Structure 1
Amino acid sequence: MKFKVLLVDDEPAALEGMQLWINWPELGFDICGTSSNGAEALAQIEKLQPDLVVTDVRMPVMDGLEMIETWQKRNNHPVRFAIVSGYSEFQYAQKALRFGITRYLLKPIDEEMAAEELGAIYQELVEERGRQHINRIASYEETVNLLKALMNQPTSLLGDTQRIDALSSLRKAWNVCFIQPRSSSSAETREGVSAFAEEREAMYLIDLESGSFALVYGFDPDADGPDGLARMRDLENQCRTLGAYATVGAGAESLLEISETYRQAQAALIHRFYTDDFAGITVYRDVAGFTFRCQYDQTELVDRIMGALQLLDKSGLEEGLSQAEDRFRENSLAPDIVRKFVIHLFYLMLEHLDELPDKASELQSRYDIPGKASAVCTMRELVDLIHSVGKEIIDLLLEVKSQRSQGVVQNINVYIREHFRETLTIKKLAEVFYLHPVYLGQLLQKRNGVHFNEMIHNLRIEEAVKLLREGTLNNGEVAERVGYANYGQFLKQFERRLQMSPNEYRNRN
């Protein structure tokens, strides 16, 4: 810990000697300046705010004791003084005792004695700094508790108006900046805001519920604007970087009005719902006259979105949600109604996973849209969330459908192999398995790689080849046995697949 020291002496050689003969840095001091008389030293003390002033007694214009007395009467900044005196002047210097000056250095300066005396002064300064720090923390915490009570229960402090008025008088006006961090950067945001407040006077950090907090700050309306926004510019940049929302109420002349200002700052937060970035602090005065629409028929939007989900249509789902977002923005629908709409969609979507209860539970826990919707969440973020849920549910349903269709195709293929010799059509097959003929045809082609009719011809010709090898049936009987009523059709399909006629095949085999 370092302390600042100001050296005062009208003799240049004495000043130089004090700087050279004493190892100030080693003793815990940094020389912040020098002066040649008391009047000049007063101005230096005001400007440099040293922790210690080491001053000669006898000087022109204003001597050391006059300077000490004048400064102590001003009481602007607590400063510790030490006297430098010769033996012949010591009786004169003793008068300093009435000013509480108990430390002195004798001329000529003795390095060891000076080090001992300055070491004792250093320890006194350290102890005093510690007491000041403790008192400052206690005073700050006391003020924070008072302000928090004023924000939430002002009527409980009606008997404490004297303390409130004293605090209120420190600045011409007061305001509240309400800050809602993102959950992912809550601790970082608070740390940044705390550091911001610590560097400024008349600014107090108040922790609130749900991870939010507020800055109660005093300001000068003439210099800082009617709401004191000039004092918030650096904080505005921090919030933008960390993705936190910040709002301010309307500035008030007294802390007794801070409860209303706090309410205004909270009310302004709802107007961030339709914004898509973190630019700027929302000012209550700018949005106070705006009202949201509280009614809108959402039936058509719900039907379109859920219809796309049922059809496993991802592009339709995206278009439906995009249309809903556009409608809500155009109509300035109240954020609470939009949140309820999204939550309703969320549960309707989860109902489609009734065959996958574990997956439904996992999605409900992971997305937690009811919880996120109740927090600070923009329209864009809510739409992105429900869109992600919908796409994931469609993927799950497609997987189930794929697994199910694989089992169905397997059963259908078994049936086809057992009945290909009969007059089997896709329509008849669809009736047997209770499927739409078009869907069934597409499903078989996708799973088997060939069209239904091609599959039937392939099976029949495979069977015909076996019968021809056995040689017990003529060509016409073989054609009829494998399911062809027309020999010409049998011949055409046989030659197409084996590049030869049935007779040529007989002769070769």
Structure 2
Amino acid sequence: MTFKVLLIDDEPAALEGLELWIDWEELGFEVCGRASNGKEGLHFIRELAPDLVITDVRMPLMDGLEMIEAWSLEGTAPVKFAIVSGYGEFKYAQKALRYGVNAYLLKPVIPEEAAEQIRDIRRELVREREEQSLTRMASYEEAVSMIKDLLNGGANALDGREKEVTRLSDAMPAWNMYLVQAAPDALSRLRAKAAAMAEAGEFIYLVDLEPSSFGIVYGWNSAEDNDKAAYAMAEELLTESADGQRVFMASGQAENSLHRIGCCCKAAKKAIQYAFYLDHAPGLILYEQVEHLQFEDHFERLDLFKEMLQAVSLLDKPALRKAVQLADSSLRESMPNPDIVKKLAIHVMYQIMSHMREAAGPAAEPWIEKYDIPRISGTVMTLGDVMGDLLSCAEGCIDFFMREQQRQSQGIAQEIIDYVSEHYREPLTIRKLAEVFYLHPVYLGQLLLKKNGIGFNEMLHNLRIEEAVRLLENSSLKNSEIAERVGYGHYGQFLKQFEARHAMSPNEYKKRMF
């Protein structure tokens, strides 16, 4: 803890000696100024607010004791005084005692003796500073407690402290508050910063509200600068949050009594809600900027949210994005209460997740866990955030179902291939196959084409001709018998497919074998 000392003497050499011969830094002081007479010294006391003044007694214009007397009458701030006087000037020492001077140094000043007296003064300054700090802290906490009671229960909750509230209220002509909202991790850091700034200020108090917000209550006086100090505090907190963590802040409407601080809080809560429709950094929202605005208590275009659900059920991303965009525009135009918008979005997200659970069962749970529905109800969400989360959830659902559909299709395709491999000798057609698997023939054909790279007919003929070649090599069956056995009702069809694959007839194939 470092204190300020002002040196006063009409002799430059004496001033220089005081500054150089005494180790002020080691004693816990810094020299904040120098003066050559009492009149100049009085001016510096007012301007520099030193904690200690060391002054010569005999000086022109105004001597040291006259200066001390003048300051004691002015009395705007406590100052410790030490006087420097020559040996034998005992009358000055007697007078100095009447003014409560803290130390009397004889000329020539001996640094070691002066240092000991200055240490005593510093110990007294430290003790006084600690007492002031404790008193101020107790007073601050008491004021915060009373303000909380006023915010929570009004004047009826004061429990006999009406006089104390009135005394605090009368200290300033008007009162107001800022409301600060942020995500939990950012809020704790901002609150610590705000608490330190409030305790260092004058008539500025930090009050905890809901878990996601706190208030800065301050006395407002245009003649002084309390409102400017509170505004600067709000701006610094907004700057503190410029690391990507969003913070909303709004002011209420000033009232002429602290008893009406609840009205200030209500106005600030109304003002801060409009940050929901501002996707850019809103900064500090003043109640005066939004007091003429009014939220709608309902939203007419509920059909847009139904269209989102329909688009999800149809796995139609373009239709989904169109519905979300139209809903966003419509919401910004009508400006329903943010709570209504959040509830609608949460309802749609729950509907989507319910649809997924019904269709996919436990397989849907890992995907559902990725989407944080409670986040939407947070206090620092904007409309853009809500609609973005909703779109992300809906698109994620569509992607999930498309992957599941593809996976299931791959499984069905393999089942179809296995079936054809077992029944290719039968009079098999794609229509008959579609009836077996309850699929549309076109869709079934597309599945096989995607799985094998060839169509159903090509696959069927390949299987039959492969079996015919095996029979030609390992049996004495006639060609017509082989054709019938592998599934061809007409020999000409068998011959055509065989030649297409081997560029020779079955007889030529036999001859080449031998």
| Same fold by TM-score greater than 0.5 | yes
The one of 418, 433, 450 aligned to 2:454: 450
Equivalent in the alignment of 1:183:
184
CA distance in 1: counterparts of 2:110 and 2:170, whole angstroms: 50
Amino acid at match of 1:412: I
* CA pair 262-385 structure 1, distance change in 2 beyond 3 A: same
User: Deviation of residue 391 (structure 1)?
Assistant: 3.0
Contact 1:268 1:284 in 2 (8 A): yes
Per-residue Cα deviation, 1:243-262 (whole angstroms, up to 9, x for no partner): 10011111222222211011
**Which residue pairs with 1:441 in the alignment?**
445
2:35 maps to 35
1:250 alignment partner in structure 2: 253
Superposition pairs for residues 67-86 of structure 1, below 5 Å?
Answer: 67-86=67-86
Match of 1:163 in 2: 164
SS at match of 2:211: helix
2:465 paired with 1:461: yes
Distance 1:124 1:221 in 2: 36
Deviation at 1:28, TM superposition (A): 1.5
318-327 vs 460-469, greater mean Cα deviation: 318-327
| Superposition map of 1:289-304 within 5 A | 289-298=292-301, 300-304=303-307
After TM superposition, give the deviation of residue 87 of structure 1 in Å. 1.9
Cα gap change, 1:64/1:364 in structure 2, threshold over 3 Å: closer, same or farther?
Answer: farther
Cα distance in 2 for residues equivalent to 1:451 and 1:327: 49
Is this contact kept in 1: 2:488–2:494, CA < 8 A? yes
1:19 alignment partner in structure 2:
19
Alpha-carbon shift at residue 297 of structure 1 (Å): 4.7
**Partner AA of 1:40 in structure 2:** E
Name the count of aligned residue pairs. 509
1:312 matched to 2:315? The reply is: yes
1:259-309 Cα distance to aligned partner (Å, 9 max, x none): 101111011222122211223222222222222333335553243222222
Alpha-carbon distance between aligned partners in 2 of 1:357 and 1:111, rounded to the nearest angstrom: 87
2:270 to 267, 270, 275: 267
Give 2:94's aligned amino acid.
Answer: Q
**Contact 2:250–2:285 (CA<8 Å) still a contact in 1?**
yes
Q: Secondary structure at the match of 1:246?
A: strand
Q: Does the CA contact (< 8 Å) of 2:203 and 2:226 recur in 1?
A: no
Within-5 A mapping of 1:386-405: 386-405=390-409
Distance 1:396 1:145, change over 3 A: same
Distance in 1 between the 2:66 and 2:225 partners? 40
- C-alpha offsets along residues 387-444 of structure 1, whole Å, 9 cap, x if unaligned? 2222333343344334433432332222211221222222211111112222222222
Segments of structure 2 that go 5 or more residues without pairing to the other structure are none
Name the aligned partner's letter for residue 409 of structure 2: S
Describe how 1:295-374 pairs up with structure 2 within 5 A.
295-298=298-301, 300-351=303-354, 352-354=356-358, 358=362, 366-370=370-374, 372-373=376-377
Taking structure 1 as the reference length, the TM-score comes to 0.91
Distance in structure 1 (CA, Å) of the matches to 2:324 and 2:176: 39
Contact 2:151 2:262 in 1 (8 A): yes
Distance verdict in 2 for CA 1:412–1:365, change over 3 Å: closer
Inter-CA distance 95–363: structure 2 relative to 1 (3 Å threshold): farther
Identical residues among aligned pairs (%): 46
Distance apart, 1:114 and its partner CA: 1.1
Check 1:319–1:228 CA distance in 2 against 1; reply closer, same or farther (3 A cut): farther
Write the mapping of 1:197-212 to structure 2, written as runs, cut at 5 A.
197-198=198-199, 200-212=201-213
Gaps of 5+ in 1: none
C-alpha RMSD over aligned residues? 2.7
- Asked if the contact 2:179/2:215 (under 8 Å) is kept, the reply is yes
Q: CA deviation at 1:181?
A: 0.8
Change (3 A) 1:307 1:448: farther
TM-score of the two chains, using structure 2 as the length reference: 0.90
Q: Which moved more, 1:283-292 or 1:154-163?
A: 154-163
Query: In the alignment, is the contact (CA less than 8 A) between 1:420 and 1:459 conserved in 2?
Result: yes
